[in-house]
Amino acid sequence: MKKVIVKCKLKNRDDFEKKLSEIDMDFTPMYWVHERVFVPRNYQKKSSFPRLILRTEMHAVDRPAKYELQLRRHIEDSGIDIIDTTIIRDYQEAANIVLQLGFEVQNEVSSRRQELTLGKGTKLFLDKVDGVAGYYAKIEAELGDNDKVEEVRREIISTFEQFGQDATTVIEDTYSEQM
């Protein structure tokens, strides 16, 4: 799946949420996400190298965790993120396979997350990442066959501006790279 992803550091989380509430948009209940990020041994920042992410989601303590393996690749030239996700049953076995393929752990990222669906294929996430100061908002928009990346990116930034953010708050690094 091809996506355009734009993330910004919030100036003020409460103001951001208040502006969303004023137009009757509310986030889902908070849930916990833990990602173990694997990169190839020759990984270089700002390259189009793939990353493998073993992800755990816990929506409630009385429900089982959800485990998935994501292949993420940011294509620098185009600004597109390619993301493929597979549900896994055995987390430890999946981690062993990833290591045997020659990947190494780059970082582990835990966060508390809320989400909001903005439209078909577009979601807004509100994240509090452990070990990183502040709150972040991230919009992920799926690309259709006829969508132009720069137009979608401008629309996302415009959406952020409607909620009191500006282009100076946009963050290019992943949470893993910020730690």
Number of domains, the chain:
1
- pLDDT score of 47: 76
Report for 11-20, 21-30, 46-55, 127-136: range of highest mean pLDDT: 127-136
- Looking at residue 23, what is its pLDDT? 85
The whole-number pLDDT of residue 20 equals 87
Closest CA to 37 of 178, 134, 135: 178
pLDDT of residue 169: 84
Q: How far, in Å, CA of 179 to CA of 130, rounded?
A: 9
**13, 168, 177 from 34: Cα distances, Å:** 21, 28, 15
pLDDT tens for each residue of 42-91: 887 777 788 999 999 999 989 999 999 999 988 877 778 899 999 999 99
pLDDT in the model for residue 110: 97
Q: Identify the weakest region by mean pLDDT among 8-17, 51-60, 107-116.
A: 8-17
Domain of residue 14: give its range. Answer: 2-178
CATH of the domain at 18: 2.40.320.10
Task: Tell me the per-residue pLDDT of 132-165, one tens digit each, with 9 for 90 and over.
Answer: 999 999 999 999 888 888 899 999 988 888 888 8
Integer Cα distance of 92 and 60 in angstroms: 22
